[in-house]
Amino acid sequence: MANERLRDALLRNGLDLDKVAKATNVDPKTVERWITQGRTPYPRHRHTIASMVRETENYLWPDAVAPERKTEIGTSEVVKLYPHRHSVPAETFDRLLNGATRHIEILIYAGMFLADNPRFIRTLQAKAAESVKVRILLGDPAARALALRGDEEGIGREAIPAKARNSLAFFRPLADTPGAEVRVHGTTLYNSIYRYDDDMLVNTHVYGFVAGHAPLLHLRRLSGGDLFETYSESFDSVWGLAKIPKW
């Protein structure tokens, strides 16, 4: 069976058989078999190709890495664990935002603490102008899940929808920014996600606690890891269900 993920990744990055063959020091026919016959390259070759196309080995070859090895790599993907989101230095959020060159993805209901950075929206607009792919997922104020979250956090059914409306107003300037997309969702928010290229801040949500008091994981994507990729796929799933807001 052909490896369509590998084929697509190479095409997206403008890589032909000869370029891959040269980088991996193999015959172009070997590269062709990796694509058309689904052959699995040696680990050193997988790592080289994954780096070239900026994808993980698990994405390109889902069955190539043994489960126990994935577990080991997943542990290494955890850069730091914070007991509370509010204990993360503001400098960390700012540094990751300013350093992003390819992807900025945010999944939240409101995330109004982001407004503490007065340059946040302008930075997103500048990044989009530099061809960074900016995707923002905000909570739909009319969605039942937001009212339920307010009940669960003990702050009232109207609190989260009200915050979401404020968040929509805060992100409104991105509506007219080429390269930036904003959508609203009404899914259960198990985690808030802040992705900047290969770094991701995952704010877990705990029943009875507001988000700022819940733990946060700082992850860094590794080629053979599963942890970062799991949250990334979750973001894509919500994105597929979300809709363009009625500003």
Q: What are the pLDDT digits (tens) for 101-112?
A: 999 999 999 999
Domain 4-64 has CATH 1.10.260.40: yes
Query: Does 232 score more than 80 pLDDT?
Result: yes
Alpha-carbon distance of 224 to 58, in angstroms, equals 6
| Res 70 pLDDT > 70 | no
Strand order through the sheet with 133-139: 78-82, 216-220, 199-204, 191-196, 103-107, 133-139, 180-185
- Report the distance separating Cα 183 and Cα 170, nearest Å: 13
d(CA 19, CA 13): 11
> pLDDT tens digits for 23-65?
999 998 999 999 999 889 888 888 899 889 888 887 888 877 7
Q: How far apart are CA 31 and CA 29, in angstroms?
A: 5
d(Cα 192, Cα 78) in Å, to the nearest integer?
16
Q: Average pLDDT, whole number, for the chain?
A: 92
Which CATH architecture best describes the domain 74-241?
A: 2-Layer Sandwich (3.30)
Dihedral sign computed on CA atoms, order 22, 27, 29, 32 = negative
Q: Quote the percentage of the chain above a pLDDT of 90.
A: 76
CA 158, 174, 138: angle at the middle one, nearest 5? 30
88: tokens are: 């993360």
For the chain, give every domain's residue range.
4-64, 74-241
Q: Are strands 133-139 and 103-107 parallel, antiparallel or unpaired?
A: parallel
Crossing angle, helix 4-12 and helix 28-36, to 10 degrees? 120
